[in-house]
């Protein structure tokens, strides 16, 4: 049986110290690019694989990241978890997932449990009710999607994305545009509603209309969109010619209600969502939406945790959204 290649074998062949090889393996920035390339080439030639158990003992961790999300049933968070896991694997890490079930009280307990498992850091999507994060163990923490003061924050620009969606509907000629907002206690919902109102408030004031007349608050899920659309699309008054839903799930619920009421999309109703979850490209008609760069957000949050630099609010990153034009929008008849 061929003896296992050791770190000393790599150091000897590369002509460097064992410490240099260790720093290369652990991604330490102090190694020059030339030495790094030489060491990595020898590692590939010899088929060297670091002893993960030994590394964990030295570091006091196990090359594992934690991820806490508020709702396992939400496809947006499922896709976020997938992207985080893919990035973590690229960096040689595994991932532990947990759900707070939108309960702010359970987040601290979940973070503490992950700390006991020696994770190197936690990506947290806070619950809608969370105003602060209890982190007595000082775990490295990156907040995603929903801002919490004092912590590094990685997210899409929710307000600018919603503004873009409203401007697109206006550019098509729509004037009666309704907004299906999210829960009132949600940071994301407030930001997206603010973006919508950036565009619509001057137009509503000019027409002498109350902004509240075109806004309905509902849960971010399919059923929330479906039920809210029943009021928006009622027969007892002028209906909107377009709806901006603050999540794709809501938008798909609107499409279902429109179908049930024989309101054709996009001929008699245009619909725009927000997020660009995978199912948005599978429904019929295919949903136009303001897309979050989910892979970029997940990669950034993961890299921040692994990077080793101090984590504070200054490490925040905001990514632009982009309109994905599909089949649910057209000029009003």
- CA geometry: angle at 70 spanning 64 and 74, to 5°? 105
Query: Hey, which CATH number is domain 62-156+294-319, 3.40.50.2300, 1.10.3720.10, 3.65.10.10, 1.20.120.330?
Result: 3.40.50.2300
Flag whether pLDDT at 26 surpasses 80.
Answer: no
* Whether residue 151 has pLDDT greater than 50: yes
Query: 87: Cβ–Cβ under 8 A, 6 or more apart, which residues?
Result: 298, 299, 302, 303
Higher pLDDT, 272 or 186: 272
Q: What number of residues does the chain have?
A: 333
pLDDT above 90 as % of the chain = 55
The CATH H-level superfamily of 7-50 is lambda repressor-like DNA-binding domains (1.10.260.40)
**What does the pLDDT look like over 164-220, one tens digit per residue?**
999 999 999 999 999 999 998 889 999 999 999 999 999 888 877 788 888 999 999
For 235, phi then psi, to 5°, come to -90, 0
As a whole number, mean pLDDT of residues 71-99 equals: 93
The pLDDT assigned to 21 comes to 83
* Predicted pLDDT of residue 130: 66
pTM over 0.75: yes
pLDDT at 117 over 60: yes
What are the angstrom distances between the C-alpha of 236 and each of 71, 239, 253, 254, 311? 36, 9, 21, 18, 54
Q: What is the pLDDT of residues 60-82, one digit of tens each?
A: 557 899 999 999 889 999 999 99
Exposed e or buried b per residue across 259-294, where buried means at least 16 C-beta atoms within 10 angstroms of its C-beta: eeeebebbebbbbbbbbbbeebeebeeebbbbbbbb
State the chain's mean pLDDT as an integer.
Answer: 88
* 301-325 average pLDDT score: 87
158-292 CATH fold: Rossmann fold (3.40.50)
Highest mean pLDDT among 1-5, 38-42, 190-194, 235-239: 190-194
Please determine, for residue 152, whether its predicted confidence score (pLDDT) is greater than 50. yes
Q: Nearest to residue 94, comparing CAs of 119, 68, 57?
A: 119
Task: Please give the residue that has the higher pLDDT: either 139 or 162.
Answer: 162
Judge if 7-50 and 62-156+294-319 fold alike in CATH terms: no
Residue 107 predicted with pLDDT over 90? no
Return the pLDDT at 105: 81
Give the start-to-end residue ranges of the domains of the chain: 7-50, 62-156+294-319, 158-292
**Res. 256: pLDDT tops 80:** yes
- How large is the average pLDDT for residues 265-275? 97
> What is the b/e burial string over 20-44, where b = at least 16 CB atoms within 10 angstroms of the residue's CB?
bbbbbbeeeeebeeebbebbbebbe
**Predicted local distance difference test score (pLDDT) of residue 57:** 44
| Residue 253 in this model has a pLDDT that exceeds 90 | yes
The predicted structure's pLDDT at residue 266:
98
Check whether 58 has a pLDDT greater than 70. Answer: no
Distance CA 143, CA 80 (A): 13
Each residue of 80-93: b (16+ CB within 10 Å) or e? bbebbbebbeeeeb
Mean pLDDT of 1-8: 74
What are 196's two structure tokens? 């919508």
Contact 226, 254 (CB under 8 A): yes
């Amino acid at each position: 049986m061929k003896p296992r290649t050791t770190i000393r074998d790599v150091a000897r062949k590369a002509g460097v110290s064992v410490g240099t090889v260790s720093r290369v393996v652990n991604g330490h920035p102090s190694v020059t690019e030339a030495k790094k390339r030489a060491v990595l080439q020898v590692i590939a030639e010899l088929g060297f694989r670091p002893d993960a158990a030994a590394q964990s003992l030295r570091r006091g961790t196990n090359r594992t990241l934690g991820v806490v999300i508020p709702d396992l049933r939400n496809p947006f968070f499922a896709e976020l978890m997938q992207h985080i896991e893919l990035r973590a694997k690229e960096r040689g890490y595994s991932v532990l997932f947990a759900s707070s079930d939108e309960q702010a009280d359970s987040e601290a307990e979940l973070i503490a449990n992950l700390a006991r498992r020696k994770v190197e850091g936690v990506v947290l999507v806070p619950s809608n009710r969370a105003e602060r994060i209890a982190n007595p163990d000082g775990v490295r923490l990156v907040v995603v999607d929903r801002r919490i003061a004092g912590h590094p924050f990685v997210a899409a620009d929710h307000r600018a994305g919603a503004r873009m969606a409203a401007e697109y509907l206006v550019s098509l000629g729509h004037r009666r545009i309704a907004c299906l907002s999210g829960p009132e206690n949600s940071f994301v919902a407030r930001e997206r509603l603010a973006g919508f109102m950036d565009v619509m408030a001057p137009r509503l004031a000019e027409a002498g209309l109350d902004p509240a007349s075109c806004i309905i608050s509902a849960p971010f899920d399919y059923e929330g969109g479906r039920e809210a659309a029943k009021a928006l699309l009622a027969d007892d008054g002028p209906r909107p010619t377009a709806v901006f839903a603050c999540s794709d799930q809501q938008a798909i619920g609107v499409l279902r209600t429109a179908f049930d009421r024989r309101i054709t999309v996009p001929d008699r109703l245009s619909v725009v969502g927000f997020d660009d979850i995978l199912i948005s490209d599978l429904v019929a008609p295919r949903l136009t939406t303001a897309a979050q760069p989910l892979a970029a957000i997940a990669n950034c949050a993961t890299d921040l945790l692994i990077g080793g630099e101090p984590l504070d609010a200054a490490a925040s990153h905001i990514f632009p959204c982009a309109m994905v034009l599909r089949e649910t929008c057209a000029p009003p008849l």
